[in-house]
Structure 1
Amino acid sequence: MMLEVTDLRLGFAAGRRTLLAVDGISFTISRGETFALLGESGCGKSATAQGLMRLLPAAGRIVGGSVSLDGEDLLALAEADMRGWRGRRMAMIFQEPATSLNPVLTVGRQIGEVLERHLGLAGAAARERMLDLLRQVGIADPERRLDEYPFQLSGGMKQRVMIAIALAGEPELLIADEPTTALDVTVQAQILDLLAKLQVDRGMGMLLITHDLGVVARMAHRIGVMYAGELVEVASREDFFTTPRHPYTQALFAALPEVSRRGTVLTTIPGQVPSLAAMPAGCRFAERCPQVMPVCRERSPEWREATPGHAVRCHWQGTTAAAEKSPDFTVDRKISEKSELLTVSDLKVHFPIRKGILQRTVGHVFAVDGVSLTISPGRTLALVGESGCGKTTVGKALLQLIPPTSGSVRLAGEELVGLRGRRLRAVRRHLQMIFQDPFASLNPRLRIGEIIAEGIGALAAAPAGQAPAAVRALLQQVGLPDDAVDRYPHEFSGGQRQRIAIARALAVQPELLVCDEPTSALDVSVQAQILNLLKQLQAELGVAYLFITHNFAVVEYLAHDVAVMYLGRIVEQGRAEEVLENPRHPYTQALLSAVPVPRLDGGEGRIRLGGETPSPASPPTGCHFHPRCPKATAVCRERYPERTAVSATHAVNCHWVA
């Protein structure tokens, strides 16, 4: 075995106590093997990874156990010796690239540090290696990106830079903490293919931490399910996906959104992971378990081997829980498909590129280049596409947070482009946005009650005396307790913060919500809660959604209509069932084929796109997709395709379809 972890116990100092975040876990990883750690936020997965690298924060403590890599006890090494192992023998892709990258160093300098220290590369040889690494992880225009700083990159690009830094030292063991969470499906497929290839070429072992069961199905050889600091199930890939044994594992599978569950309430796991200061004496999952028995609350279960290589830590001896039929959403209002709440026509957002001392404009970034779409009351339009294609810019331009260069945005017949001051604020009562990162979008110095009441007061959504009652009603509506009013954002979990962001958006009773990746960083169980909430609010209030996402499982479950975006333009749009079941544009076909599915039989027929996504600062002539399209012809390189109607509700911009 390359890596052996035995009875590892990690904790965090809290006053005179040390609260255990990882309580006695053991596992092994062989060369060329991927071991996946799966579980909800707060279960100790990232703490395990930090402990293996000996990168725990100041309050972190290694309480006991051993970590052996190639026979060397890492916990016994001096810190100076450990620095020689990090980056060279073992490397880590961190979950939060924005906080892991140095904001005052260029991308090239940060990759170069690894190459210089561990491989002895410098100068032209190092730069060539850097360019190659950036190309491998799918970054367009790598020569320019090497000299840029992290703040100039999108979230997906920062994650790819982190992966490039981790791979630069050619490590034997790679610890990947949610390595593809912020990436779209095509880049995710590219990264996973790259990691799998490096594994074969180098015999690299991998500890993969993720909450995406599709990624687990594609990458893992063995899986460990973690809950409240303990491993509760360890199985091979085949056993895990065919016969999950632990009630917690089964609940994770039941919470997955998919097209077969459309219109029904997703299964959720009640309650939350217990806090470190209040771990129960018996089974830690007992309070949330549908199979709980008296013995579960009295003593912690021992490991038992269900089948060879498949171990489970559970008193319950059953195999699968009886499936309960999920209730349907009650829709009290008739959804109109003919009336148009939002109409966007030929929307363009071009950002100037300025250079020189006088900052003269030398070009433009065509972030959004002629987008047209409509949303009807009570319906959900999913806007999908790769990172950097302009999805979030469209959402912000609708609210006039970014001034459009040209085009029209009409909400219930009223033109929004060009509105200012009081008139714009009045319109924003009807149009609100849920941002991708709820923690960054909530003011850390304000209590939750003040955050929600701020919007009500600013847009005069309720009389001043009624604001406190309105805030409490909103919190109840999104499933948060009354005492949340007096607490701060940092006191809540990621899923709870997203509920707060939804409550803030709903505070002014909008008719349309722009949801920018609201579930991208959430566990499947918390994601199910948020999706149920959004569906419930739509059924009760008739609110419409523009749902920006790269998660096609969410699109299948939630969306009525789908628009596919590539390099600033819509290339295909129609009803969800039309686009997802019969995609006509080669780009849509490639996107759908790249989606990792949580099944053993997933991955067949994957379309691997050649080349890289072009820079929006210099889009290709003709069809923007032609440099990567397997069906491109001469006409594709000469002129942009006209809109072709496949049906009354399904349209594609493609010469091949015509």
Structure 2
Amino acid sequence: MLRVENLRLGFTSGKTALAAVDGISFSIAKGETFALLGESGCGKSATAQGIMRLLPAAGRILDGRVSLDGENLLALSEADMRAYRGGRMAMIFQEPATSLNPVLTVGQQIGEVLWRHLGLAGAEATARMVDLLRQVGIADPERRLNEYPFQFSGGMKQRVMIAIALAGEPELLIADEPTTALDVTVQAQILDLLASLQAQRGMAILLITHDLGVVARMAHRIGVMYAGELVEVASREEFFSRPHHPYTQALFEALPDISRRGQRLTTIPGQVPSLAAMPPACRFADRCGHVMAVCREQWPPWRGAGEHTVRCHWHGEASATDAVHHDITELGVATGRDFLAVDDLKVHFPIRKGLLQRTVGHVRAVDGVSLAIAPGRTLALVGESGCGKTTVGKALLQLIAPTAGSVRLGGHEWVGLKGERLRAARRHMQMIFQDPFASLNPRLRVGEIIAEGMEALGVAGDAASRRATVVALLGQVGLPDEAVDRFPHEFSGGQRQRIAVARALAVQPELLICDEPTSALDVSVQAQILNLLKKLQSELGIAYLFITHNFAVVEYLAHDVAVMYLGRIVERGRAEEVLRSPQHPYTQALLSAVPVPRLEGAAAVIRLPGETPSPANPPAGCHFHPRCPHAMEVCRSRYPEVTEVSATHAANCHLLS
């Protein structure tokens, strides 16, 4: 159906055009899913934009051919191309917030596609829109058609984007990281939807992702991209059983897993070369553990045939999983008294209406959370978006004032602290935010960013000693001394996250709250950050509260796990207990929905109907009962008490009582 031949795309810089995609060729058959894998900056999204002819102003198609059912798309006029876009071919963009029109309702945006490509209008179009929103799992679709994008959460915006892409009944769907912003339960729902539509319509899918679990679940064939080139193409079975290229093997080796718990994850040194500094021969040579002299002199040829081809001079077949691991000392042994003790923490936001802004209700974002962390241990707080995880983290630091409850750090109460006392106390607890670019001041140099907290809390003495401390901190997180005088925009995403870690460590905290610190990172960069956090914990004995929805990271890093649903903890225990023997139906559903990066071993996904209820109007009884497959009459009337499964494992569920 789709054939891409020797496609070259570039971006103009002055009078020169720098090639971002350099001569890639692949094809996708009707009803097939072809996955493009690789780190950020490898040219995956540029390839998709080139196929759709949606390159930015500086983008240029330098050479090649893209044909859909034999029709050369690159030779079509822009007017003819509009008939293809949204109709015969559609794209799900990576960032839904910037892809949806903020001044049009969701119904208007879906309706535009239906009218233009299918000729539907009026009641017929409305019925189709309602059906599309219901298919992608949006509750109460009749009402939500008239709402604007800002009234939807990030995950729901992504589902709207998918509904728009599917509205024109495309023959080819290009999905650019379609599930990155979604929880595992919604991700499973969306992947099931795409698979069922593909089976019904014979739709071809070009899937761009860095999640090997999603690839294992969806792809028929896989192409690995590096620095604008394809370096390996294989069938799903060949790819997961015998990866050949050193880059592919390194990506597998960087995945966190419980089997690597006490070991250092393998990382890929350096980063993807810039467009202006592409090596003349093998582009992976500078980062490759098997580099030879010929790799720096000659462009590697394609070898292999049929279902598995690879572009590499190295002929060794050993998978990177045979590599030697370096042990990391574990300090995670409970030391008696808990360092952080949170008791019945509540954060309720008032709902105000009317001219006088009277309070008519409350959003119960956090509704009675209790947890504890011992020195040198990691507690993972997991759950779907909107369950209150980040609010807990901010309330612990008093960035949001708790409504009720107690937060004791080292025996000292934090709730109620103000002014100088609160500022001094914050030295002991710091936060690493989800988006490192948004949390670093773009106008300050890295040295100033890291030293800012030290100055405010009086940690280091004069300017010279502060600078020396900053340089030492940068070395500790694996950044060079000269980074002190550079700005945040000059660093990659992984390096910016390291700067955020250094800033948090600058005031010598005993507890770090890590809010999804690796969610936006490639697996290779994620491995670097996880290795760094493990190393710091083993050297400094820091405790972590790790907020995440990535269960592979939980398996690798966490000692204890707390599962959160609608503002409350529903299950807690040692990581091995909760992950291997989940007791609460919600935990079981979450774990079943996690895509695993291998061909076998995945359990059947437990489908959860509907979506998380609003914390402004939680259900009576057990909050989970409207979605629970095992709900009983008692679940609808009474919230379950804590049931001790073992000395270290407990859950709130009537099934256990």
- Kept in 1, the 8 Å contact 2:363–2:615? The answer is yes
**CA distance in 2 between partners of 1:630 and 1:292 (Å):** 54
5 Å-filtered alignment, 1:157-556, equals 157-305=156-304, 307-321=305-319, 323-330=322-329, 335-465=333-463, 466-556=465-555
Secondary structure of 1:429's match? helix
Relative to structure 2, which stretch is displaced further, 553-562 or 283-292? 283-292
CA gap of 1:150–1:426, structure 2 versus 1, over 3 A, is farther
CA gap of 1:464–1:169, structure 2 versus 1, over 3 A, is farther
1:640 Cα shift? 0.7
Deviation digits for residues 407-432 of structure 1, max 9, x if unmatched?
A: 22222222222222222211111111
**AA matched with 1:319:** E
**Misfit runs of 4+, over 6 Å:** none
- Kept in 2, the 8 Å contact 1:25–1:231? The answer is yes
- Kept in 2, the 8 Å contact 1:498–1:518? The answer is yes
**AA matched with 1:525:** S
1:481 Cα shift? 1.4
1:148 Cα shift? 4.1
Deviation digits for residues 579-618 of structure 1, max 9, x if unmatched?
A: 0111111111111111110111143332222333222222
Deviation digits for residues 143-175 of structure 1, max 9, x if unmatched?
A: 554444434443323322222222222222111
**AA matched with 1:646:** V
**AA matched with 1:54:** R
- Kept in 1, the 8 Å contact 2:262–2:329? The answer is no
CA gap of 1:107–1:426, structure 2 versus 1, over 3 A, is farther
- Kept in 1, the 8 Å contact 2:424–2:457? The answer is yes
CA gap of 1:270–1:432, structure 2 versus 1, over 3 A, is same
CA gap of 1:174–1:334, structure 2 versus 1, over 3 A, is closer
- Kept in 2, the 8 Å contact 1:457–1:464? The answer is no
**CA distance in 2 between partners of 1:127 and 1:354 (Å):** 33
Secondary structure of 1:19's match? strand
1:522 Cα shift? 1.1
CA gap of 1:475–1:108, structure 2 versus 1, over 3 A, is farther
CA gap of 1:388–1:292, structure 2 versus 1, over 3 A, is same
- Kept in 1, the 8 Å contact 2:23–2:229? The answer is yes
1:321 Cα shift? 4.7
1:483 Cα shift? 1.8
1:291 Cα shift? 1.3
**CA distance in 2 between partners of 1:401 and 1:115 (Å):** 45
Secondary structure of 2:7's match? strand
**CA distance in 2 between partners of 1:381 and 1:334 (Å):** 10
Secondary structure of 2:64's match? strand
**CA distance in 2 between partners of 1:587 and 1:482 (Å):** 47
1:141 Cα shift? 4.7
Relative to structure 2, which stretch is displaced further, 348-357 or 645-654? 348-357
**CA distance in 2 between partners of 1:186 and 1:289 (Å):** 36
- Kept in 1, the 8 Å contact 2:139–2:610? The answer is no
Deviation digits for residues 336-363 of structure 1, max 9, x if unmatched?
A: 4422121111111222233344433333
**CA distance in 2 between partners of 1:421 and 1:415 (Å):** 15
Equivalent residue for 2:4?
A: 5
CA gap of 1:66–1:642, structure 2 versus 1, over 3 A, is same
- Kept in 1, the 8 Å contact 2:188–2:605? The answer is no
Task: Say what the alpha-carbon RMSD is for the aligned residues.
Answer: 1.8
Deviation digits for residues 606-644 of structure 1, max 9, x if unmatched?
A: 222233322222221111111111111111111110000
**CA distance in 2 between partners of 1:139 and 1:507 (Å):** 44
1:198 Cα shift? 0.9
Equivalent residue for 2:17?
A: 18
Relative to structure 2, which stretch is displaced further, 106-115 or 307-316? 106-115
Equivalent residue for 1:621?
A: 620
- Matched positions, count: 655
Equivalent residue for 2:69?
A: 70
| TM-score, length of structure 2 as denominator length | 0.96
Secondary structure of 2:224's match? strand
- Kept in 2, the 8 Å contact 1:50–1:56? The answer is yes
**CA distance in 2 between partners of 1:155 and 1:485 (Å):** 34
**CA distance in 2 between partners of 1:423 and 1:113 (Å):** 57
5 Å-filtered alignment, 1:572-591, equals 572-591=571-590
CA gap of 1:356–1:240, structure 2 versus 1, over 3 A, is same
- Kept in 1, the 8 Å contact 2:175–2:206? The answer is yes
- Kept in 2, the 8 Å contact 1:218–1:602? The answer is no
**CA distance in 2 between partners of 1:434 and 1:142 (Å):** 37
Deviation digits for residues 321-341 of structure 1, max 9, x if unmatched?
A: 57232111135x684442212
Deviation digits for residues 21-54 of structure 1, max 9, x if unmatched?
A: 1000001111111000001111111111111111
CA gap of 1:33–1:293, structure 2 versus 1, over 3 A, is same
1:138 Cα shift? 2.7
| TM-score, length of structure 1 as denominator length | 0.96
Deviation digits for residues 550-595 of structure 1, max 9, x if unmatched?
A: 1111100000000011111111000001101111111111111111
Secondary structure of 2:646's match? coil
**CA distance in 2 between partners of 1:173 and 1:277 (Å):** 33
